[in-house]
Amino acid sequence: MVVKISVPTKKQCIVKKSAYVIRDPSSTSEHTAFIPKNEWIQHNYKDLADQLTTEKKHFTDAVTIIDVDPYIRKLYHSKIHELLLTSDAAARSKILKNYVDEVCKRVDNFSGINLEKLYSYELIFKPSGQSSTAYDYSNNRSIGLHIDTHNVEALEGRAEGFQLLTINLGLEDRYFYFITYEVKDILDKLKSILLPEEIKEISSVKQLKDKFLQNFPMVPVYKLTTKPDQAYIAVTQNLIHDGGTNSQKQQDIALLIGGYFSWK
């Protein structure tokens, strides 16, 4: 099933599309990384009539952009940031957990989205001007477009993986790139062009992603703008995706909360 873009928000979402992917110039023969070609075409809602909806879709069926309570970002910058800098490890862990609890409460009250089960949470900080926010620090290289693996490891059942709520806590826009095909759709497309023995060799989402982008480089990549006080929700274990940061020389700050969410 093609994943929709759900925008049941008061603000209009900026949606752009890249015609194809290219190999990351920093990638090597041992490591294949792909990024969207940096030639984006902006679309309006009419252009995306088949892809975009204002309905409150189930979070497994859509990438959803929401408005969040501005107090979430205000609280981080006025209090939480300083506390995290000046506290020891044990205190920082407690401060962050309490902050996440407050965020989830406000997402429930302000955005109408309930957290049913919490799996993970983290703050991430990235420099501006990044065309990819996924980075392999141990090998010092970009990962590029990828599929996450958290609580689902097999290729089957990826739609049942937990959802990721990513809130923009920064001062500038940030971006979410994704391809609209689910893992099972990607596998079906590869089965239509590859030999059965080649399909059997695909045992990980990295191999699946590489084979797909090598064989379908013209697949569109969507770029969704997440403004300050906005967030996206997506099953990143079921989509080829990545992120990008602002070009305004402002640090990118995001809060990632992994769990199962539902509309109230």
d(CA 13, CA 2): 19
- Residue 129 falls within a domain, yes or no? yes
Indicate the burial class of 176 (C-beta count within 10 angstroms; 0-12, 13-18, 19 or more).
Answer: buried
Residues in the chain: 264
Residue 12 lies in a domain: yes
Q: Would you state the structure tokens that stand for residue 144, as one six-digit string?
A: 């590029």
Within a domain: residue 191?
yes
Q: How far apart are CA 135 and CA 192, in angstroms?
A: 32
110, part of any domain: no
The alpha carbons of the chain give a radius of gyration, in whole angstroms, of: 18
Domain extent, residue 37, equals 4-69+118-263
Place of tokens 């959802």: 163
pLDDT at 42: 84
Domain presence at residue 93 = no
Find the CATH number of the domain harbouring 131: 2.60.120
Structure tokens at 41: 């075409």
Identify whether 89 is part of a domain. Answer: no
Average of per-residue pLDDT across 12-38: 71
Beta strands in 34-93 (DSSP E): 34-36, 40-43, 52-53, 62-67
Total domains in the fold of the chain: 1
Is residue 39 assigned to a domain?
A: yes
Main-chain phi, psi angles of 80, to 5 degrees: -65, -45
**pLDDT 10s digits, 55-114:** 899 999 999 999 999 999 999 999 999 999 999 999 999 999 999 999 999 999 999 999
The confidence score (pLDDT) of residue 29 equals: 45
| Secondary structure class of 100 (helix, strand, coil) | helix
Q: What is the DSSP letter of 162?
A: P
Which alpha helices (H) appear in 29-121, and where do they start and end? 70-75, 81-86, 89-106
Query: Is residue 189 assigned to a domain?
Result: yes
Prediction pTM value? 0.93
pLDDT, one tens digit per residue, over 69-85 is 999 999 999 999 999 99
